[in-house]
Structure 1
Amino acid sequence: MTSSFTIHDAAGYEQLMGRWSRVLAPRFIDFAGLADGERVLDVGCGTGSLTFALAASVDLAEVTAIDFSPVFVAAATRRNSDPRITIRQADACALPFEDGVFDRAMALLVLHFVPEADKAIAEMARVVRPEGVVAAAVWDHYGGMPGMRMMVDTVAGLNEAGRQMRARYCFQPMMQPGEMKRAFVEQGLVDVAATELMVRMDYQGFDDFWAPIAAGEGPLGKYVAALDAVERARVDAAVRDAYQAGRPDGPRSFASVAWACRGTVH
């Protein structure tokens, strides 16, 4: 499985997105459901936002977490002190588990970075027992992420690379209304339900917002890292101006929405 997510440093990812994943994780768990004694698979665990929230929620028998990135696997492993949690490198589109061995498989903020997202959903369904649950959530980049849209719309007005990056960012897999629900149904899941989950992303100032992107983290950071010095200076200044919006630098808060979907294995 290739991934469209660029990761260089786990700490940079934490500042870019991990801190918001941790806020979103309890809302996602409430939607997906969870029960004592279950065996749960976390697909695309990153630095462990969902993994550790699962373990803290109820008395699970086991949490198995996988990620394609060795950087994420190493970071999550360093954080782990719970014997119920196992973390390993694996491919979401070819899960290294037997059929029906988990009660639930969950993917938080992952499927939009998997080019073959349908295959990942099918794999999650394969490794969950009959009557078990598959659940996933992805950010609504087009209509539900005003903080990030502020950045991509700004750079789209500066150069062609920015316009191309915006088109990729806004239309990643599973992000359009109803798209993930249709994919769940097409992969044979039943009783499929969808909802929207909202959190706020609160930044202390422009540097808090911009530093991980400027360091090259994530798909937005990949665009910034490819700029020459002149274009980089233009982009830095333009995004700073958009963030500050004519007021002194300081805290800003953005409502952010994720699409969420769950279904039952038939």
Structure 2
Amino acid sequence: MASSFNVENADGYERLMGRWSKRLAPGFIDFAGLADGESVLDVGCGTGSLTFTLAERPGLKSITAIDFSPVFVEAASQRNTDPRITIQEADACALPFEDESFDRAFSLLVLHFVPEAGRAVAEMRRVVRRGGTVAAAAWDHYGGMSGMRMMWDTVAMIDSNARAMRHRYSFQPMMRPGEMKASFLGNGLVDVEETSLTIRMDYDSFDDYWAPIAAGEGPLGKYVTGLDAYTRTRVDTAVRDAYEAGEPDGPRSFASVAWACRGRAPD
């Protein structure tokens, strides 16, 4: 299995996470680095948050984007109007490119959904040239995603079946401090640096926050849509109460942190 992320439709994903990926992308690019004339691979492009942010740099030679989900590939392809961008379906753990094909290989908010994340890092290392850069970021679900943890902690108090799922959500690959750095070093990258990147997820209302999950998007969405009617009503009510926290429904803002790592292929 190359991905554990549950995809219902591209628009739902945009509401759940794509809009926040776009907000994180510029800071990730600044950390990862870019130079004019380079070719860049986006591993796990989703609906194109990183791909189209990269395309804002006119000096890039080419941008190749891959994703395991045909839903995402179709959505990103429909948006694309830049001749430098190529988008295709592919597996992060078996990239369909020759060795040393790119100057840089990036992966934004994907590796934690790849069960064999180390293989994906190894593949990114393989396809960059000597001296090229590999960079990736993954959400810190345990300690850095206050808005999402609020949901999981609330649900786990209602349904004991959700506790194991909360554990899996909190400790997916590449989420612990130093874990991504160790993988980069173990796969032969040098000058490896790890940091954290922070954005805020701003919601207009409870519906803005809950609707994509209620529709089945993402790991929590898959869980919620599988509940019986009684438990579903309890969950909906409890999560709304947690979101509102005693205040009228309306805007809320949650700090969200991702681990980011970069390394260089040896010369």
State if a TM-score over 0.5 links the two structures.
yes
2:2/2:92 contact within 8 Å kept: no
1:131-152 deviation line (CA, Å, top 9, x unaligned): 0000000000000000001000
Helix, strand or coil for the counterpart of 2:55? Answer: helix
For the 8 Å contact 1:103–1:133, the answer to whether it is kept is yes
Provide the residue aligned with 1:240 in structure 2. Answer: 240
Gaps of 5+ in 2: none
Q: Give the partner amino acid of 1:253.
A: S
Residue equivalent to 1:35: 35
Contact 2:138-2:175 within 8 A present in 1 as well = yes
**Alpha-carbon distance in 1 for matches of 2:247, 2:235:** 19
Separation in 1, partners of 2:219, 2:150: 15
CA distance in 2, matches of 1:161, 1:91: 31
Q: Mapping of 1:1-266 within 5 angstroms?
A: 1-266=1-266
For structure 1, which segment, 52-61 or 180-189, has the greater mean C-alpha deviation from structure 2 after superposition? 52-61
Paired residue secondary structure (2:98): coil
Query: The residue matched to 2:257 in structure 1 has which SS?
Result: strand
TM-score, with length taken from structure 1: 0.99
Displacement of 1:2: 2.7
Secondary structure of the corresponding residue to residue 56 of structure 2:
helix
Unaligned runs of 5+ in 1: none
What per-residue deviation string (whole Å, max 9, x for no partner) do you get for residues 79-99 of structure 1? 000000000000000000000
Which amino acid letter does the alignment assign opposite residue 32 of structure 2?
Answer: A
| TM-score after normalising by structure 2 | 0.99
Any conservation in 2 of the 1:34–1:58 contact (CA below 8 Å)? no
Q: Which amino acid aligns with 2:68?
A: F
Amino acid at match of 2:228: D
| Contact 1:4/1:114, CA 8 A, preserved across alignment | yes
CA deviations on 1:122-167 (whole Å, 9 max, x unpaired) are 0000000000000000000000000001000000101122112111
Tell me the CA shift for residue 225 of structure 1: 1.2
Kindly report the root-mean-square deviation, in angstroms, between the aligned alpha carbons of the 2 structures: 0.6
Q: Distance in 1 between matches of 2:57 and 2:167?
A: 38
Tell me, yes or no, if the aligned pair for 1:156 and 1:162 is still in contact at 8 Å. Answer: yes
Identity of aligned residues (%): 73
AA aligned to 1:41 is L
Q: Is this contact kept in 2: 1:161–1:223, CA < 8 A?
A: no
> 1:79 corresponds to which letter in structure 2?
R
Q: Which runs of 4+ in 1 moved over 2 A?
A: none
For residues 212-232 of structure 1, give each alpha carbon's deviation from its aligned partner in whole angstroms, at most 9, with x where no partner exists.
000000011011011011110
Instruction: Return the offset for 1:58.
Output: 4.2
Corresponding pairs, count: 266
8 Å contact from structure 1 (residues 145, 256) kept in 2: yes
Mapped to 2, the partners of 1:2 and 1:166 lie a distance apart of 21
2:2–2:93: 8 Å Cα contact kept in structure 1? Answer: no
